[in-house]
């Protein structure tokens, strides 16, 4: 008989603050944030791509900064504010980045899109008026297999403009 993934001896209760909601999860503290989001909390908007920190599909924000959730042990983010794609729309309105991605069709299959939007948000939080070169540099670790990079840059520029106009970050 094989060993279980974690024994009850190793299990810990971990409190997570995700999109303004507190969750208590029980499990092995070195599990990835991505597996806890998807498997325990049913927050499946954050995608599994490479599982090795190389593609950006799993990007979430911790204290406003982009992290690769597939390689982030969940215990490291306990008690810190986490934002996932599910937390962006407010009051029935999509976030300006989500609107802009739709408006300029910055997606084809859409698999990379949540990660692209979360990285875009981290960028615009730190730099509300990035140049095209700054966008390309910042988004460099996010891979789109459909090759929609040009439209993704355009969407981020458009969202940045909207957000400045609305005075939001």
Q: Return the residues of window 96-125 that contact ligand FES according to CB under 6 A.
A: 107-112
Distance, C-alpha 19 to centroid of its chain = 11
Q: Which residues contact 116 (CB under 8 A, 6 or more apart)?
A: 56, 59, 101, 106, 139, 142, 144, 152
Nearer to ligand FES, 38 or 158 (CB): 38
Determine the Cα–Cα distance for residues 12 and 6; give it in Å rounded to an integer.
Answer: 10
Considering only 31, 33, 62, 68, the residue that binds ligand FES (CB under 6 A) is: 68
Considering only 49, 87, 96, 114, the residue that binds ligand FES (CB under 6 A) is: 49
The window from 81-89, 125-133, 143-151, 157-165 that contacts ligand FES (CB under 6 A) reads: 143-151
Q: Residue 156's closest CA among 87, 100, 102?
A: 100
Determine the Cα–Cα distance for residues 96 and 161; give it in Å rounded to an integer.
Answer: 9
Considering only 16, 18, 57, 74, the residue that binds ligand FES (CB under 6 A) is: 57
**Where does this chain bind ligand FES (CB under 6 A)?**
48-51, 53-58, 68, 70, 107-112, 144-146, 148
């Amino acid at each position: 008989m094989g060993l279980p993934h974690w024994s009850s001896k190793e299990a810990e209760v971990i409190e997570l603050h995700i999109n303004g909601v507190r969750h208590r999860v029980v499990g092995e503290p070195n599990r990835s944030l991505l597996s806890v989001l998807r498997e325990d909390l049913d927050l499946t908007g954050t995608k599994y791509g490479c599982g090795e920190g190389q593609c950006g599909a799993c990007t979430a924000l911790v204290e406003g900064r982009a992290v690769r959730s597939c390689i982030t042990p969940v215990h490291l983010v306990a008690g810190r504010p986490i934002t996932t794609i599910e937390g962006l729309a407010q009051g029935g309105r999509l976030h300006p980045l989500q609107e802009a991605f739709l408006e300029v069709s910055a997606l084809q299959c859409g698999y990379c899109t949540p990660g692209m939007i979360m990285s875009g948000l981290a960028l615009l939080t730190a730099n509300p008026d990035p140049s095209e070169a700054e966008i390309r540099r910042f988004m460099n670790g996010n891979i789109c297999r459909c090759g929609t990079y040009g439209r993704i840059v355009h969407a981020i520029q458009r969202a940045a403009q909207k957000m400045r106009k609305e005075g939001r970050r």
